[in-house]
Amino acid sequence: MSAVKKWTVFSVRAALDAKTISARELTAEFYSRIEKRNPELNAYLTLSPERAYAQADRVDAMRASGKPLPPLAGVPVAIKDVISTRGIRTTCASRMLEDYVPPFDATAVARLEDAGAVILGKTNCDEFAMGSSNENSAFGPVRNPVALDRVPGGSSGGSAAAVAAQLAVGALGTDTGGSIRQPGALCGVPAMMPTYGRVSRYGLIAFASSLDRIGPFATTVSDIAAFLAVISGRDENDSTSASVPVPGFFAEMQKPVEGMRIGIPAEYFGEGMDPEVRQKVEDGIEVLKKLGCRTVNLSMPHTDYAIATYYIVANAEASSNLARFDGVRYGLRVDGSSLREMYENTRGRGFGTEVKRRIMLGTYALSSGYYDAYYLRAQKVRSLITRDFTEAFKKADVIVTPTSPSPAFRIGERIDDPLAMYLSDIYTVTGDLAGVPAISIPCGVTSDRLPIGLQIFAPAFMEARILQLARAFEGATGDSS
């Protein structure tokens, strides 16, 4: 297949300013690409051409009138299908919400559109964002555009695949245990999880409320910064959004990285990592050292408990959040002879296997007699994991690790082994539990040409520092576009 033009936020602006393309023409180009490739990738579940072309026409009218264009003018973007979009079907990749159309936009979506972005449609994902491979979608798996027999990662696999295949310039995903960074690594695109509270969760259909975050995928680190600058900031509709000023990411990114302290935690380089992943990440650390960074060896001793802690906390919150899907107010309803039977019929048919598994595990962890032994203890360990990060950042400015212990695995390879699937997130769940920001950036490929990701953590609300280092790495490795 011939290569398609790789558009970025900045090349779109340049083309609009030079009048070599209109926003409507660019939108049509992307819909043409989607028509050709989406049947094999299954990255998009719903397209929104009427809304997209109306927005493109508004941008073109602004340009024709000589008005200054907003920062994302005409940029085609995709939205993960767990984020509410007014008038556009929002399914959470579940039969439970197969026909649900929200009456409002999520704050992040509204901010993108206010900045001129063109919403192309909604991307496939694991059902209710529960999964690491995008195989749990009720509407079929997404295929990795790099290798069609491989998973794109999850749960935001459709968003990662859409950007990697250039079916969108950028996309929003969500990260609860690695669901932005892991698919970014497996598809070979930059993918950012901001600090908890940096981006409003208003309009995000909740999986685990103390963990869920919205963040961007893009083809370059500069584009990540462009999207993050638009969607960040306090939102009165979300009490968990932070009243922390949004810095000038682009100005911060220009600063030199020489002298930056790079923390290397021993626990993230243990057994179970693919040898090629280890080698490429170690090579990436050498690149950072050549840029003038200084490595610091760290120990984060509670890392080994992160997966168990995460799957207690996240599943407990999921069991509570998903109780609202009962067939009474909205979504699927399967009637029965009694209220209880209606609940059972609705939830039995509406939820897939993995969602049912997590609801049951979470309900058990919260049940009388087990709350202290499981949920309360997990919250205490979560505090210890957070303290590991706090102590590490006293010695290092950032922490660098692999994103995923392996490259993209084959579709079907782990679907019947939940533990093996859960371990895909072993290097990412810690950041979610601690509330800190992180990015995955490409750092080479395996001998089979499968992408590998390098992960950078920073202290809370220090996304600018992450972007600064990520941009320097991208420039040094020649991966920027």
The CATH number given to whatever domain includes residue 71 is 3.90.1300.10
Asked if residue 434 belongs to a domain, the reply is no
Asked if residue 59 belongs to a domain, the reply is yes
For 137-174, give the DSSP string. -TT-PPPBTTBTTB---SSSHHHHHHHHTTS-SEEEEE
Asked if residue 306 belongs to a domain, the reply is no
Average pLDDT, the chain: 96
Residue 70's domain comprises: 9-252
Q: If residue 389 lies in a helix (H) or strand (E), which one and from where to where?
A: helix 377-395
Asked if residue 404 belongs to a domain, the reply is no
Outline where 232-376 has alpha helix (H).
249-253, 275-290, 306-321, 339-350, 353-366
- pLDDT, tens digit (0-9, with 9 covering 90-100), for 198-239: 999 999 999 999 999 999 999 999 999 999 999 999 999 999
Least confident of 258-262, 299-303, 454-458, 476-480: 476-480
Asked if residue 369 belongs to a domain, the reply is no
Asked if residue 20 belongs to a domain, the reply is yes
- pLDDT, tens digit (0-9, with 9 covering 90-100), for 111-168: 999 999 999 999 999 999 999 999 999 999 999 999 999 999 999 999 999 999 999 9
Q: How high is the pLDDT of residue 338?
A: 95
Asked if residue 204 belongs to a domain, the reply is yes
Q: How many domains does the chain have?
A: 1
Q: Using the predicted structure, report yes or no on whether residue 1 has a pLDDT greater than 60.
A: no
Question: In the numeric block, which tokens belong to residue 271?
Answer: 């057994």
Asked if residue 302 belongs to a domain, the reply is no
Question: Which residues form the catalytic set?
Answer: 80, 155, 179
Strands 44-47 and 118-123: antiparallel
